[in-house]
Amino acid sequence: MTDPEGSAADGGSRGPGRPQEPPPPTEYEPRPETGGIPATEAETESGTGGPADAGRGDTSRLPPPLRARFRLRELLRRPERPDQAAVYRVLDDTGSHVVKWYDRGRAGNPRVREILSTRQLPNVVWLTETGRIGGHPYEVAPSYGDTDLAQYLRDHPGPADPRLVRAVVTQLHAALTAVHGLGIVHRDVSPANIVLGSLDPADPELTLVDFSIAEYAPEERLADRDAWAGTPLYLSPQAVARRQVIHPQADWWALGMIVAELAGGRHPIRHSHSGYVDLELSSGPPDLSLVTDPRLLPLCRGLLTRDPDRRWGSAQVAEWLAGGSPPVAPADWPSPAAPDGRDVRAFPFMGQEFTDPVRLGMAFDGYWRQMERALAHGRGRGAFTDWLRQFLAAPRYDQAARDELAALIELLQRRPGPATLVRLLSWFAPPLEPAFRGEPVDPAHGLADLAARAEHDQRALAIVEDLAGHEILPLLDARPGGEGLAGIHRDWQAARRRWQPGVEALCAEFPALRRRIRDHPELTARDGRLTAQLLHIAAAPERCRDVLDDHVTRRLRSLPEPVDWYRWLTGDRRDPLRLLLADRLAGLAEEESHRSRADRLREHEARRMDAAAAWLGVQELPATLGWAVGGAGAVTLPWIFLVGLADVANLAPQTTVVTAWGYAVPAAAATFALELWAAYRVGYLFYHPENSLAGLVIRQAGRAARPVLRHRVLGTLAVAAVVGLLLATLVLAAWAWPAGTVLAVAWWTWRRHRAWPLRRPGAPAGPTLGNRPASPTGETP
């Protein structure tokens, strides 16, 4: 739980239609026309907005002079802007304290700080120490508790305990009476600035803190600048004017809002945006229908009287606390009268009766879906258009407004679309800020934030698709704060038209990508998330370009191998559409890069293995060639031996022997040549014994020897028969064995040649260790 003094944030402005929460206090003065954050003095002088730490150094740590005296217990807030204070919870020997360190010139009124540091007031923060560090003011106060009234309300929804309500009134009455008596106007009395020292409803020990925008104003006066300060939901009607009135009555109005919020279970104003609060306050008194306690209702009415001269103050609240009933002023805003003098008929919506178009427009804007449902059917639209006709001649509207109303009544004869509903809301409440379906779409931040959320939020995505399908942004351009939405709409439509040609240009440059991109439907302009991203680019082109450029840069650095088409696509970093396409295709580029790296590594490994195989082949070449010579000799020596035997023993005619020798010599040479070539072609790894003549002879001799050895008589007869056949063949046809041997070896060499790839430039000389081809027999060796 953070200290309440460290919870001050950005003024509590939120988009319309969001859940009600008590906003945090403000320490700056937002521009009244936008509810935004003004440029600080430093930013105005330099023209740029520096970091929040500028001038104060590292605000995540205590200022150096305080480090020796205090132990940092918790950093409650590190400033996001120079106008915010750095807030720390610290400890020393006396207990727990809160240190606030302001930027130069941001510590508030010096007279107020002087009073709060010299006087201990009831239920008011006491500044035990003030000073400057490096020219930047700081202050030290006791830590009064770990929670504030705003957090208590969030943790305890619904109407508060009546004892707590009375205790809040009693203790804040004491605090406000004391500070007003010394000429101080707090200007930001809100639940976030009320610290709870106890969770006992009967005695919460309240302390009013955060006097950073308080003023010393013994007499009523106007603010020095055309700006307002404070938390929107707790500002009085005089405080939301362009020139704020600084007077104690504004703090009593804020007390009335706090009491109404406690008693009713929610804030009387349903919206928290400053523009909506202004509309609520200008259209009539706050809604107190949830305040049912008969004793609290007059208190709320007295404190929330619009006329500050008739509003309750310290004396009336003291009388109420004593059991009295001071008089309450009558309502300040009666119902508007119709042209014929009769009261305007009421239109029912969400359990309430509306007579004022401004109030109904605000309710419609906050409950968009219920508005669509109410106007979806002919009967409901008929009753609504009859109610609208009351204002066709109302003097409060000029002729242009009447003409627009007549056109809207005509459009409402059929079910209205989103554009018609936007026009209707703009007519109802012209000061409404640009919003659609309860989401802010202002060009400064709202539209870009909506587009960013649409990538993961279905509701935001549906809103973006409606904006794409209808001319809504140009209609919202006319609302306060919507200037520039029409231009964003044009840029968005232009980006959607450019998207597909950009994809086609990439495919034309790299045709191989076309089929792969066709499998990515998210690259089409019909994809809702792509539409949202294009809207984001149109709304915040520079910010999106920087973010996409960062994504693309990191992706390029992470790719293990360069991808030509991705490098081409990211070549122009000025075009956010190309960067978006690159971001969407990053996965494809990464996949291709990893595949290229894997291919390169495989090729490198194959070359390495080929080199190793070649080296081993050189080392094993003599042995391989030796097996080739042995195999060739094994098939040629038998018939060479027989020819010699026939020659020596005169077993054949001399002419036959001469003819046999004539065939034997070239046949033997051819056999040796073929086998040596086959050995070199196949390589040492796969040549012997599977694909060599020597292996074949050994295998076949082994098969033939087994039956010969098993049956020796029959085997001897078989061998004699073979020798006799060889001799007979030699006598009858001396060329048969040499020619048959050459043909058989040639045929088998051809088969072995077919089993290995043809040698060509760049191809390995034989099979490699990493990729073994099938053997000539069709089996993998």
Question: Between these two residues, 685 and 679, which has the higher pLDDT value?
Answer: 679
Mean pLDDT of 498-513: 87
CA distance 549 to 301: 57
Residue 22, pLDDT score: 36
Tell the CATH topology of 4-142.
Phosphorylase Kinase; domain 1 (3.30.200)
- Three-state secondary structure call for residue 190: coil
Return all residues near 184 (Cβ < 8 A) that are at least 6 apart: 112, 115, 211, 214, 215, 216, 217
pLDDT at 15 over 60: no
Mean pLDDT of 520-539: 79
Q: Hey, where are the domains in the chain?
A: 4-142, 148-321, 335-432, 623-755
Tokens (6 digits) for 667 = 């046949």
Return all residues near 559 (Cβ < 8 A) that are at least 6 apart: 566, 589, 590, 593
- 422: nearest Cα among 485, 353, 354, 493: 485
Mean pLDDT of 555-580: 88
- Output Rg (C-alpha) for the chain, integer angstroms: 48
pLDDT digits (tens, 9 = 90+) for 671-684: 888 888 888 888 77
- 149: nearest Cα among 4, 269, 12, 296: 4
Tell me the one-letter amino acid at 268.
P
For residue 689, cis peptide bond before it (omega within 30 degrees of 0): yes
Mean pLDDT of 336-362: 73
Return all residues near 24 (Cβ < 8 A) that are at least 6 apart: 7, 8, 9, 10, 11, 12, 150, 190, 192, 231
CA distance 78 to 299: 39
Report CA torsion sign: 343, 346, 351, 357: negative
pLDDT digits (tens, 9 = 90+) for 259-300: 999 999 998 887 655 566 766 766 667 888 888 898 998 899
Residues 86/100, Cβ–Cβ less than 8 Å: yes
Residue 759, pLDDT score: 42
CA distance 727 to 708: 21
Mean pLDDT of 612-637: 81
pLDDT at 647 over 50: yes
- 448: nearest Cα among 433, 464, 459: 464
Residues 255/321, Cβ–Cβ less than 8 Å: no
Residue 668 binned pLDDT confidence (cut-offs 50, 70, 90): confident
Tokens (6 digits) for 5 = 């003094």
Mean pLDDT of 409-436: 89
Report CA torsion sign: 162, 164, 166, 172: negative
pLDDT at 12 over 60: no
Number of H helices, E strands in the chain: 29, 16
pLDDT digits (tens, 9 = 90+) for 102-145: 988 777 889 999 999 999 999 999 999 999 988 899 999 999 98
Residue 504 binned pLDDT confidence (cut-offs 50, 70, 90): confident
Residue 447, pLDDT score: 92
Mean pLDDT of 444-468: 90
CATH number of 148-321: 1.10.510.10
Residue 14, pLDDT score: 32
Question: Between these two residues, 232 and 24, which has the higher pLDDT value?
Answer: 232
pLDDT digits (tens, 9 = 90+) for 722-736: 777 776 776 667 677
Question: Between these two residues, 580 and 278, which has the higher pLDDT value?
Answer: 580
CA distance 229 to 208: 17
Q: How many residues does the chain have?
A: 781
CA distance 101 to 212: 11
Residue 6, pLDDT score: 42
Residues 30/13, Cβ–Cβ less than 8 Å: yes
Residues 279/358, Cβ–Cβ less than 8 Å: yes
pLDDT at 558 over 50: yes
Mean pLDDT of 43-65: 61
Residues 273/296, Cβ–Cβ less than 8 Å: no
Residues 563/593, Cβ–Cβ less than 8 Å: yes
Tokens (6 digits) for 685 = 């790894």
Mean pLDDT of 210-220: 86
Residue 679, pLDDT score: 85
- Three-state secondary structure call for residue 355: coil
Burial pattern 178-212, b for ≥16 Cβ within 10 A else e, equals bbbeeebbbbbbbbbbbbbbeeebeebebbbbbbb
In this prediction, what percent of the chain has a pLDDT beyond 70? 83
147 membership: H or E segment, kind and range: strand 147-148
Report CA torsion sign: 292, 294, 296, 300: positive
Residue 272, pLDDT score: 57
Per DSSP, the residues of 405-421 read HHHHHHHTTS---HHHH
- 406: nearest Cα among 396, 392, 427: 392
Residue 38, pLDDT score: 31
pLDDT at 694 over 50: yes
Return all residues near 459 (Cβ < 8 A) that are at least 6 apart: none
- Three-state secondary structure call for residue 196: strand
pLDDT digits (tens, 9 = 90+) for 754-764: 776 544 333 44
pLDDT at 209 over 50: yes
* SS3 labels along 577-608: HHHHHHHHCHHHHHHHHHHHHHHHHHHHHHHH
407-412 contacts at long range (C-beta below 8 A, 24 or more positions apart): 409/385, 412/375, 412/381, 412/384, 412/385, 412/388
CA distance 605 to 307: 89
Tokens (6 digits) for 187 = 């200007």
Residues 206/191, Cβ–Cβ less than 8 Å: no
Mean pLDDT of 7-17: 34
Within 10 angstroms of residue 330's Cβ, the number of other Cβ atoms is 10
Angle value at C-alpha 37, between 35 and 39, nearest 5 degrees = 140
Mean pLDDT of 702-711: 72
CA distance 691 to 242: 102
* SS3 labels along 286-336: CCCCCCCCCCHHHHHHHHCCCCCCCCCCHHHHHHHHCCCCCCCCCCCCCCC
At how many degrees (to 10) do helices 446-453 and 528-539 cross? 160
pLDDT digits (tens, 9 = 90+) for 177-202: 999 999 999 999 999 999 999 988 88
Phi-psi region at 510: left, alpha or beta (left = phi > 0; alpha = psi -120 to 50): beta
Tokens (6 digits) for 192 = 């976030």
pLDDT digits (tens, 9 = 90+) for 612-623: 777 876 777 788
DSSP 8-state class, residue 768: -
Q: Which residue has the tokens 């007077």?
A: 247
